């Protein structure tokens, strides 16, 4: 369906039957969004069981969607060689999925950690190359000024400090290569977690990092003391896991796309590096009000990668009201319209916030229309099909985590 027109898309969505055993037909409704009546398509369009995602995606990051979401739109609305862009790239799900499918990619995120955990996966090394590089890295660095004893055994902390020092020195000398970046990416992902597969003692899930004081409280409550973790062994183990399902053709696609990929670190409202009328598809999930505290969640990852989390936190959008959030997103949509190709699409995932009492699609649709797009509809992907009355109500299985809500826009001819 690459290059589908608006009417073709509506027909396809209306006639879509879910791939679940129940084979449920799409439910079609209409929604009033800021004075605009917009069609809504409700079904289980993609699920974890529909198509197993590539293992290369398995990098933990808070507030990220499943690879099947961008995969659905990339497959339906683009062809090989088209440009796919994510202005709020996060862990890089859209970029990696597009790369696997042979699309050109552009990524932007105010947090440089996003680039650090995305770009290396476009150039996956062999396990042997990672093993050889790790064997050359000493493990004798002294601990730094940052107290991490509540997370790590002294020997583990020494290994982490040595690895960090080695990687940052290679970067500063201009000697960093794809293997170094891969190792840094995997280590960043292994810093904290809740199982023996991570460098740390038990802490919160690996998509965030608690403060030192919070970790001390966790340790006291659980009566735990950090035990030694072999960081090099865990990096190799995770490397094998990330590479386990990659095919030769996918690696070729990733490498080719990686050579021309554009990675930006800044405000999504100002992306002069992207030429006018060049992006065929945007698939993104923006920051949702004050739900996610990116600075607090990423302080340890920033430290490991030589970044200042306090400075970065000031550049990341954390709007605390719908009006403020809409003001920022209005600017984003104007920039997406400028960079969008004629006939190009935007799939804007809005989710549900504050237990469903705020439905951002009602605010997003008018913003896209004001920027010049036509709003082609709202897609609601349900992991367990529910009635429309519950889809649009606040009583949607508690906090609304059972659905994805995507507002679809098109830049008309």
Supply φ then ψ for residue 282, to 5 degrees: -110, 130
Which DSSP letter does residue 384 get? S
Q: Would you place residue 401 in the very low, low, confident or very high pLDDT band (cuts 50, 70, 90)?
A: very low
Total Cβ atoms within 10 A of residue 26:
19
In the block, tokens 């088209």 appear at: 82
- Asked whether residue 314 carries a pLDDT value surpassing 70, the answer given is no
| Numbered ranges of CATH 3.40.50.150 in the chain | 6-118+247-410
- In CATH, the number for domain 6-118+247-410 is 3.40.50.150
Q: Which residues pair with 263 in a beta bridge?
A: 107
Q: Which residues pair with 17 in a beta bridge?
A: 25
> What is the per-residue pLDDT for 32?
84
Total Cβ atoms within 10 A of residue 56:
24
Total Cβ atoms within 10 A of residue 231:
26
How many Å apart are CA 193 and CA 161, to the nearest integer? 18
How many Å apart are CA 31 and CA 33, to the nearest integer? 6
Question: Mean pLDDT over all residues of the chain?
Answer: 87
> What is the per-residue pLDDT for 255?
98
Neighbour-count burial for 334-348, b at 16+ CB within 10 Å, e otherwise: ebbbbbbeeebbbbb
How big is the chain, counted in residues?
Answer: 413
| Residue 120 in tokens | 């290396």
How many Å apart are CA 319 and CA 335, to the nearest integer? 19
| Residue 90 in tokens | 């996060």
Q: 2-16, 45-59, 152-166, 287-301 — which is least confidently predicted?
A: 287-301
Which pTM was predicted? Answer: 0.91
Dihedral angle of Cα 273, 275, 277, 282, to the nearest 10 degrees? -20
| Residue 320 in tokens | 């605390």
Write the burial class of residue 331 (CB in 10 Å: 0-12 exposed, 13-18 middle, 19+ buried): middle
DSSP letters of 154-189? HHHHHHHHHHHHHHHHHHHTT---HHHHHHHHHHHH
Is 125:277 a contact under the CB 8 Å cutoff? no
Q: What is the pLDDT of residues 349-392, one digit of tens each?
A: 987 655 556 778 888 999 999 999 999 999 998 865 444 444 44
| Residue 344 in tokens | 């190009």
- Asked whether residue 231 carries a pLDDT value surpassing 90, the answer given is yes
- Asked whether residue 399 carries a pLDDT value surpassing 70, the answer given is no
> What is the per-residue pLDDT for 392?
46
Is 341:10 a contact under the CB 8 Å cutoff? no
Q: What is the pLDDT of residues 121-169, one digit of tens each?
A: 999 999 999 999 999 998 877 766 789 999 999 999 999 999 999 999 9
Q: Who contacts 321 (Cβ-Cβ below 8 Å, separation ≥6)?
A: 289
Q: Who contacts 264 (Cβ-Cβ below 8 Å, separation ≥6)?
A: 106, 107, 108, 109, 271, 273, 274
Closest to 99 in 3D by CA, of 110, 87, 83:
83
Q: Would you place residue 8 in the very low, low, confident or very high pLDDT band (cuts 50, 70, 90)?
A: confident
In the block, tokens 């003001």 appear at: 327
70 vs 65, 211, 275, CA distance in Å?
Answer: 8, 33, 23
């Amino acid at each position: 369906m690459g290059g589908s027109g608006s009417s073709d898309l509506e027909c396809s969505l209306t006639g879509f039957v879910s791939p679940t055993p129940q084979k449920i037909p799409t439910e079609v409704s209409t929604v009033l969004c800021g004075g605009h009546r917009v069609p809504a398509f409700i079904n289980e369009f993609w699920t974890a069981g529909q198509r197993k995602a590539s293992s290369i995606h398995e990098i933990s990051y808070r507030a990220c969607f499943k690879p099947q979401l961008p995969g659905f739109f990339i497959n339906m609305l683009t062809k090989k060689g088209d440009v796919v862009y994510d202005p709020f790239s996060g862990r890089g799900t859209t970029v990696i999925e597009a790369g696997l499918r042979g699309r050109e990619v552009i990524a932007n995120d105010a947090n440089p950690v996003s680039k650090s955990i995305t770009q290396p996966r476009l150039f996956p090394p062999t396990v042997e190359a990672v093993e050889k590089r790790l064997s050359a890295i000493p493990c004798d660095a002294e601990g730094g000024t940052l107290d991490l004893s509540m997370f790590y055994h002294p020997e583990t902390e020494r290994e982490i400090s040595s690895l960090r020092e080695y990687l940052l020195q290679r970067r500063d000398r201009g000697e960093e290569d794809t293997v170094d970046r891969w190792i840094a990416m995997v280590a960043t992902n292994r810093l904290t977690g809740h199982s023996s597969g991570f460098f740390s003692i038990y802490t919160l899930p690996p998509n965030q990092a608690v403060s030192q004081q919070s970790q001390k409280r966790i340790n006291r409550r659980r009566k735990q003391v950090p035990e030694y973790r072999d960081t090099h062994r865990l990096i190799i183990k995770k490397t094998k896991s990330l590479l386990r399902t990659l095919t030769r053709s996918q690696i070729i696609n990733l490498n080719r796309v990686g050579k021309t990929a554009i990675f930006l670190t800044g405000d999504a409202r100002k992306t002069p590096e992207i030429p006018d009328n060049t992006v065929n598809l945007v698939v993104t999930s923006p920051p949702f009000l004050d739900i996610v505290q990116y600075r607090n969640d990423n302080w340890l990852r920033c430290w490991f990668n030589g970044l200042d989390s306090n400075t970065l936190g000031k550049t990341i959008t954390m709007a605390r009201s719908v009006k403020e959030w809409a003001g920022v997103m209005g600017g984003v949509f104007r920039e997406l319209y400028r960079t969008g190709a004629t006939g190009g699409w935007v799939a804007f995932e809005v989710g549900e916030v504050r237990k469903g009492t705020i439905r951002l699609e009602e605010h997003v649709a008018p913003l896209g229309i004001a920027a010049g797009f036509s709003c082609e509809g709202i897609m609601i992907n349900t992991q367990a099909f529910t009635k429309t009355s519950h889809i649009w109500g606040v009583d949607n299985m508690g906090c609304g985590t059972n659905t994805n809500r995507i507002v679809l826009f098109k830049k008309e001819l």
